[in-house]
């Protein structure tokens, strides 16, 4: 294998997404749309040009269920890695998207890597956790291409770490539910596709409305 590939999948839509509630480490199951999105990802990956060898998933149910559905046609080993969990929103777990917008979560997280005004994880903490998780995974499986099933904010921080961009909260890498981002870890890591959701039928693409898409748990 000339260069290792990582393929990031954001979990399918959840009941909390549908209700426009911001859940970080709080559990919320996939809704019917989210299940269909995950199934569509698996069907897409059956003919994906890059071969993948293993799936690593966040321990939260919405990610694990997505990983299981994606894996139905792939039949890969699935490993649960707690380092891929979504950011802890602290006191803001379960508030509405509108409240998140009004409280300035995205603005503060973009401007200040140490922001902890919500009583949860700072961008520094999420960045360091996900970066270490990905580094360790690549070291454990250096000859394997890895599928990573995780969450909007966790993936955004991880991509910022891989690509060495700022801010540490990589808002420019936020993804839709059921979307795919692929990275090749060459001498200079490169994004091959970002927030790709072309595999989703039109009815599965539109997300529940939100005032901004800075919080994608």
Q: Are 43 and 183 in contact (CB under 8 A)?
A: no
pLDDT of residue 206: 67
Smallest CA-to-CA distance from 178 within 198, 159, 161 is with: 198
Q: Which two tokens stand for residue 197?
A: 């959701």
* For the chain, domain boundaries: 5-203
Query: Counting Cβ atoms within 10 Å, is residue 11 exposed (0-12), middle (13-18) or buried (19+)?
Result: buried
pTM score of the predicted model: 0.95
pLDDT (tens, 9 = 90+) of the chain, 217 residues, equals 689 999 999 999 999 999 999 999 999 999 999 999 999 999 999 999 999 999 999 999 999 999 999 999 999 999 999 999 999 999 999 999 999 999 999 999 999 999 999 999 999 999 999 999 999 999 999 999 999 999 999 999 999 999 999 999 999 999 999 999 999 999 999 999 999 999 999 999 866 544 444 445 6
Q: In this structure, which topology does domain 5-203 adopt according to CATH?
A: Rossmann fold (3.40.50)
Q: Are 83 and 133 in contact (CB under 8 A)?
A: yes
pLDDT of residue 213: 44
CA dihedral for 179, 183, 70, 134, sign (positive or negative):
negative
Could you tell me where the DSSP H helices lie in 15-146? 15-18, 32-45, 61-71, 97-103, 105-111, 123-140
Query: How far is it, in rounded angstroms, from Cα 66 to Cα 61?
Result: 8
Q: Which two tokens stand for residue 83?
A: 């380092």
pLDDT of residue 211: 43
Cis peptide before 167 (omega within 30 of 0): yes
Q: Are 42 and 11 in contact (CB under 8 A)?
A: no
Residues contacting residue 151 through CB under 8 Å, at least 6 positions apart: 10, 11, 58, 60, 62, 63, 84, 85, 86, 87, 216, 217
Query: How far is it, in rounded angstroms, from Cα 137 to Cα 123?
Result: 21
Q: Are 39 and 54 in contact (CB under 8 A)?
A: no
Question: What are the distances in angstroms from CA 98 to CA 33, 106, 108, 212?
Answer: 22, 12, 15, 8
């Amino acid at each position: 294998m000339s260069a290792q590939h990582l393929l990031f999948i954001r979990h399918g839509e959840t009941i909390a997404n549908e209700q426009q509630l911001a859940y970080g480490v709080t559990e919320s199951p996939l809704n019917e749309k989210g299940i269909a999105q995950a199934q569509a990802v698996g069907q897409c990956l059956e003919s994906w040009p890059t071969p993948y060898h293993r799936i690593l998933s966040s321990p939260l149910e919405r990610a694990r269920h997505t990983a299981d559905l994606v894996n139905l046609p792939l039949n890969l080993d699935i490993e649960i890695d707690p380092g891929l969990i979504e950011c802890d929103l602290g006191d803001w777990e379960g508030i509405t998207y509108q409240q998140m917008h009004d409280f300035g979560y995205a603005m503060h997280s973009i401007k200040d890597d140490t922001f902890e005004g919500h009583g949860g994880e700072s961008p520094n903490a999420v960045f360091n956790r996900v970066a270490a998780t990905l580094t360790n995974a690549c070291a454990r499986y250096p000859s394997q291409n890895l599928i990573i099933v995780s969450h909007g904010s966790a993936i955004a921080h991880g991509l910022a770490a891989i690509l060495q961009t700022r801010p540490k909260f990589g808002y420019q890498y936020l993804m839709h539910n059921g979307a795919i981002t692929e990275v090749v870890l060459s001498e200079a890591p490169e994004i091959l596709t970002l927030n790709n959701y072309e595999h989703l039928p039109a009815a599965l693409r539109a997300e529940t409305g939100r005032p901004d898409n800075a919080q994608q748990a």
